[in-house]
Every structure is written in structure tokens, then in C-alpha cells.
Amino acid sequence: MKPDDKEPTFLKEYKPGEAFGELALLYNAPRAATITVKSDDCLLFSLERGAFNAIVKTAVQKKREKYEDFLEKVEILKSMQPYERTKMCDSFKEEWFENGDVIITQGD
């Protein structure tokens, strides 16, 4: 609920295992919404901002290293500067496919 809202606005119902508040942790900002528990059997874990940021930074660094190692072996990309490779690594999004899945179709 925003300070100028008169009535609460329903945005989402969270399922077990989901998380919220990551943007507030990343940017040291106030929470953008109020979360209300609907039952007595709720278990909530909290994470201190410094620990969260350390986890995020470590994950980003590991991702960069993994993709940089790969890109350094691609012949056509060997002339790229390290900074350019890092920027390319940061833009990658991993997707997994099952055996036989169509990844791209001719003509698309």
C-alpha cells in the first residue's frame, strides 16, 4: 500500500519458496509493498542486507568467470577486449532444453 492509497491494493499471493524484498535490499530502499500473512502456519526467513549483497556479488562473479572462460575459446571473439567480454557475459541469460526440444525453427 502506497502512502497516498486509501485502500490496500492486492498485487500477488506468494507460494512456498518464493521471496520478496530483494529490490529493497539491493538498493537500500524502503519496501514497496506490505506483505500480510493469511494463516498461522507461515515460516519466514530474513536475510541481512550485507549478506544478501555478498551472495549476489559472488553469484555474478561466478557467472562472469564461467562465460568469460567460454568466450575466450570462441575464435571470432578472441579480438574482443576483456571489458567487452565482461559486458557480453553480463547480458547472457541461461536457458536449459531437454533432448529433442526445438530451439529455433528455420524461417523464424
pLDDT of residue 98: 95
In a domain, 97, yes or no: no
Instruction: Judge whether 59 lies within some domain.
Output: yes
Asked whether residue 4 is domain-assigned, the answer is: no
Q: Give the residue numbers spanning the domain of 87.
A: 22-91
Question: For residue 31, what are the CA distances in angstroms to 8, 61, 84?
Answer: 15, 27, 35
Total domain count for the chain? 1
Which candidate, 31, 29, 35, places its Cα nearest to that of 9? 35
91 — phi, psi (to 5°)?
Answer: -90, -10
Q: What is the pLDDT of residues 12-34, one digit of tens each?
A: 899 888 999 888 888 888 888 88
The model's pTM is 0.59
